[in-house]
Amino acid sequence: MWGENVRSETVGKRRVVAAGHDAGADPRIEALSRAVHRMRRALDGHPAELRDRREAERELEALAAAARSEAPVAEELRHSLLLLAAAVGSVSALARPLAAVREAVELFGTGRPPTGTG
C-alpha cells in the first residue's frame, strides 16, 4: 500500500501519507524536511566547484536540525534560507531546489505575533 491522500488544513494542499506515518505530524515540517533533502541531493550532485559550498552545507544542516526539532523558529529558518541563497543563488542548476526550500520556509509565516488593526 502506497498511502492515503489527505487534505491538510494547515497548508491547504493534498499530500500522500505513507502507511504507518504519524497523521498528527505538522505538514510544514514534513515539507521543510523534503525540500532540505532535495536541496542536499542537488548540492551533492552538483559537479562544479562552489566557493561557498561549505556555507551552503552548514545552512542545510541548520534547516534540517530545525525540522528535526519539531518546533522551528521562523526567524531562524529565514536567516538560514538567506545564507543558503547567498551561497548558491547564482547557480541556475540549484534554482529549483532552492525555490522549494524557500516555499517550505514561507509555510512558517513571519514568526511574529499578529498585530491588531483596531
Return the pLDDT at 116: 53
Q: What is the mean pLDDT of the chain?
A: 81
Return the pLDDT at 105: 97
Residue range 67-91: average pLDDT?
93
Q: Do 97 and 35 touch, CB atoms closer than 8 A?
A: yes
pLDDT tier at 111 (50, 70, 90 boundaries)?
A: low
Return the pLDDT at 30: 95
| Amino acid making up residue 15 | R
63-67 long-range contacts (CB < 8 A, ≥24 apart) are 63/32, 63/36, 63/101, 63/105, 64/33, 64/36, 64/37, 64/40, 66/32, 67/29, 67/32, 67/33, 67/36
Q: Give the span between the Cα atoms of 95 and 69, in whole angstroms.
A: 26
Residue range 66-85: average pLDDT?
94
